[in-house]
Each structure stands twice: as C-alpha cells, then as structure tokens.
Chain A
C-alpha cells in the first residue's frame, strides 16, 4: 500500500537520504535547511542502516569530509544554504577535479552577504556555471515540490556516480520549508564493501596485494597532462548534456507566450498560466528540471512557436541569460522576478508578461 506522509521539503531530503542507502551526511547548521540534519539526527540511521551523520565545524569541513568519503566510493552528501554553499566552493572544485561523486543540497536564501533567511533563487549562476575555480560543472537538479525533494536525492546520487561528478540539488527556502504530502521510497540497503571494491575501482579502500595503489588527487604539475585531463572532463560534460536533460512542459501545445521557471517559481507560474488563460492569453511553461544540463534544444523548438518568453526567477535575472543564449534572438526573452527574499505573486507574473512582452 502506498504510504503517504505530510512533511517539509527539508525533512523529505533527510528521509530520502536514509532510504536510498546513503553512507554519510556531513553538515553545518544554517537556516532555512537545518531540518535536514535535525531530521537525520532524530532518525539516528547509524542504528538502522549504519549511515554516518556528523555535525562538522564549518561548511569547509563538511564538504571536505564529503570529499574524503566520496574518495572511498561511499554515497555521501551535505546540505546548506547560500552563505554555506559559498564556503564549499573550494571543496566542490576539488571534487570535480578529482572526479568524485557526491550530492550537495542548496536550500537557497536571499543574498548577497548574510542576506536574509527568506527564499531566493539567486544562486543559479554559482550552481550551473561551476562556482569554484577552473573549468568544471555541477549536475544541477531543481525540485519544485516536496515529492521531488525526496525523489531527486537518489537521482542525484545515480547521476553523480554515473559520471563521477558532484551533483547539486538546487532548492529554495519555499520548497525546503513548505509541507506537502510525499510518498517515500522503500528502504534500500547500503552498498557493501565488496560491492564498492568491485564497482568503484578508483576508490581508496586499501591497496590489496597485487593491485595498483589508488590515488584520489586533482594535482597535475605538467600543464600538458592537465590540459589532457580537462579535455576528458569536457567530453564528460558533453555526454551529460546529450543524455541527462530533464524538463517538464506545461500547457505548451497552443502556447503563444512561454514562462521559463524552475523550483518554487515554477509553482507560481502554474497559477499564473491559469490567470493568463482566464484573460485569454495563451500562456505555457517550460520547467527545466535539470538546470545543468539546460534544456537548450527544447527552448529552441518552442522559440519557433511562441511570440516571447519570460524567465521568472527569484533573482535579479540569472537563468534569463541561458534562455537568451538558447533561443539566440529568435524571440524576445525578458526576465521578471522579485528577489532578496521576496516572492512574486501569480498576478505580478501575469502583469509582467503583459507589460514586458504583450504590450499595451
């Protein structure tokens, strides 16, 4: 029988982490996501699945604990909100540079600086463009419901291990804090050491007799070797872009105007579509589920059909740049969004559509 529960997005992340057989969580408290570690500590999974949960001394320590655990081929994760994710950037580029899989959850709040604990979507650039130094990418998933908060944990781990690259769940304070019904997956067992040793032949699990020693590192003193490694990384990113784009189309069949929105903005735009249609405006939405890789092709297709696109995000305009790059001038692309912790209403979104794209 389906087991439905009512819980916060943050709690769903924690429950899903235990149930998908995660080996470790390392984190540092910050609003609006502290319920993730609080839920894990209350559940005490070390007694049931053997999962390690540890409160670190900082986000710098958490992400480097994640590095250590990932290097052993374990399913490890951390979570934080914007200021903490900024502190993790060094660790994230090391993880990408050492080709290590992990999951990082960012429940975004308004910035810059200490900013506000209220929801925002202003860490888009940091998430999808790399964030730390060097040429690398984070696989980035954007949940728009509590159910997706739960489901994306396992999807993120699968992608991270498939490509040996960190994956980020880019959420926001709305999705993290709101309560919805959610169906949790069945408990899966954690990987055994035998499984890890057989399947993750790069992991440092102790050098067995007759086996080459394994080294997890991102240092290449020889620039030609570094360049070759970078070509390899780039080839991997092209594969990800080819294979892993996820998106949802809502009311697109007859749409003349398109909202492009992810996460809680996508929820708001769903209502905005209803309002617009009641006014006779044929609005639809493309919701990117993966922000990296970005649904470029889908936007290009829709650009042949619609008269304009409105990128709706709780930021000063970040994803709008990628939408413009994708449609390459075919149709006008505008941005609308409240930011700094303020959330736009569906009516404001429709008004923006009318003013910025429909005119009159």
Chain B
C-alpha cells in the first residue's frame, strides 16, 4: 500500500487552496459564513486573473479585517460607507475592478443611503452583502434583517415588529432600481449552495468587466456566536427560519 507521502503528489492533486487566500489565522468563529465567502471571492479573482486590478472595500463589522485574508489592495471604510468609497475608486480608475463587502447592519441600516444611491446611479461595481440577521461584531444586537420573534441582545424576547419594524428586504428593494443589473440571493451552508454562490460571484465580476452596472450578491449567512448556537444548529436554524423569509435565487438578471 502506498504511504501518504507518495499519494500527496502533484499528479494526484484534486484541490488546491488559491494563493490569494492568505495563510493568516482567521478571526472568524467556527461555523461563520464570512470565511467561506472570502474563499469564494479569492477563488473568483484568481480564476479571472484580475488580482492586479481588483480593489476591495471592507466594511465595519466582523469582516472589518477582510484585508488580512485576500491578497489584493484594500480600503477599509467607515461603517456603512463602503459604496461611497467604491463609487469614487471606480470612477477615478475605471479600468480597475471594485467590490464592496458589507454586513447587514453596514449595508441595510447605517449605510442605507449610500447603498441605495450607489445602486441607483448604477455604479459599475460588485456589492457582496453578508446577511446574518444580526450585528455580529458588536455582540449580537438586533439588525435591520433580524427576523420577527428572533431574539437578539437588544430585543431579548425577540423582534417585536410593532416596536422594531419589520425586517428590511433591502435586496428586493434594490432590484427595483434601474441601476442594478444583477441582484441575487444565495447561501453557503451546503456544498451545492457554495457552488451556486461562487457562480453568482463570478457572474457579478464579469458584469463589471462588461460595464453593466451594479451587481449585488446577498449571502444569507450564519452567525453561530450571535445566534448562540453550534455551527450545525445554525445551519439548520438558517434553513428553517431565514430561507423562508429570504428565499434564495436570482431576483433580477439583465
């Protein structure tokens, strides 16, 4: 029988981590979707050969340090302002590829104006939207996307829609704007869904190369720490509760 060292040889290689995903120790919690989405973005940039021209805009949120993990140039924005930065970077350097990476608090609460107006102007950028229904970074407070009845540290008995309003389906709202060309919702909780998310990200970046306008890829995500669940429970809870409210699939594809 061949020993492990002879099996691990270039001819037998079936999967290799992209070099764009850096070896820094990730700060994300076990079971967090952020890390998976980072890997997909790194792979798409690598496969499209656009590392030298891509500039990422990181948010304030758990992914504030995204620049530690993907080997491209980055700017770190103030909370909610990534679309404004992305607008200027793209307009001043139209031959570069620009994407923002934002959480739900960042994109759909404090940064709602910047989000809507960047999409409405049809800025030729990609927006990656990590919707975990909670403020992960600050310790699990209610987000604009927290589900009705879902507990969070600032609504310990669950979101009361009479008091707190309804969860904001901002992705559906953004799909109404003529400036967006591709608006789609995915998840990364099963291998099949991971593959679909990667395809959507690839398409979003290709849209930018084709000057088509704003592409928004929402990823319905888990936050095991904020939800106070194990990674396995989180996946199950997301499937049973988040996905019926935030159904997966393309909302707009022009």
Contact = CB atoms under 8 A, between A and B. Distances in A.
Interface string A203-230: 0111111000111111100000000000
B57 interface: yes
B184 to A, nearest CB: 25
Contacts of A218: 76
A117 to B, nearest CB: 24
A23 B92 contact: yes
A206 B54 contact: yes
Nearest to B93: A72
B89 A215 contact: no
A67 to B, nearest CB: 6
B71 A204 contact: no
A65 B87 contact: yes
Given A65-B87, A68-B87, A216 B76 contact: yes
B67 A71 contact: no
A199 B7 CA distance: 49
A204 B84 contact: no
Contacts of A207: 51-52, 71-73
Given A23-B92, A54-B91, A67 B74 contact: no
A41 to B, nearest CB: 15
A69 B88 contact: yes
A282 B133 CA distance: 71
A205 B113 contact: no
A119 B102 CA distance: 40
Given A61-B117, A207-B52, A52 B71 contact: no
A91 B84 CA distance: 11
Given A57-B114, A65-B87, A74 B75 contact: no
B84 A64 contact: yes
Given A205-B93, A218-B76, A213 B88 contact: no
Interface residues of B, number: 32
A91 B51 CA distance: 28
A143 interface: no
B85 interface: yes
B86 interface: yes
A216 B75 contact: yes
A193 B77 CA distance: 23
A136 interface: no
B194 to A, nearest CB: 25
A215 B73 contact: yes
B65 to A, nearest CB: 8
A213 B92 contact: no
Interface in A21-75: 23-24, 26, 52, 54, 56-58, 60-62, 64-69, 71-72, 74
A204 B117 contact: no
A183 interface: no
B87 A91 contact: no
Contact of B113 (A61, A74, A215): A61
A204 B99 CA distance: 13
Contacts of B52: 206-209
Given A57-B114, A215-B67, A64 B93 contact: no
B55 A206 contact: yes
A69 B89 contact: yes
A68 B88 CA distance: 6
A74 B92 CA distance: 8
Given A205-B93, A207-B51, A208-B52, A65 B74 contact: no
A219 B91 CA distance: 26
Contact of B75 (A58, A66, A204): A204
14 contacts: A52-B91, A61-B81, A67-B77, A67-B88, A72-B88, A72-B93, A98-B76, A204-B55, A204-B89, A205-B96, A206-B52, A207-B51, A214-B74, A216-B76
A217 B76 contact: yes
Contact of B85 (A54, A68, A206): A68
A315 to B, nearest CB: 29
B71 A213 contact: yes
Contact of B84 (A52, A65, A205): A65
A108 B55 CA distance: 36
A76 interface: yes
B74 A213 contact: yes
Given A57-B114, A206-B53, A207-B52, A219 B64 contact: yes
A274 interface: no
Contacts of B55: 72, 204, 206
Interface string B44-77: 0000000111110110000011010001111111
B209 interface: no
A24 B73 CA distance: 21
B78 interface: yes
A214 B93 CA distance: 16
A241 interface: no
A147 to B, nearest CB: 29
A76 B92 contact: yes
A216 B78 CA distance: 11
A309 to B, nearest CB: 40
A152 interface: no
A90 interface: yes
Given A61-B81, A68-B57, A91-B81, A206 B73 contact: yes
Contact of B114 (A61, A76, A90, A204): A61
B113 A68 contact: no
Nearest to B51: A207
Contacts of B93: 72, 193, 205
Contacts of A161: none
Nearest to B70: A213
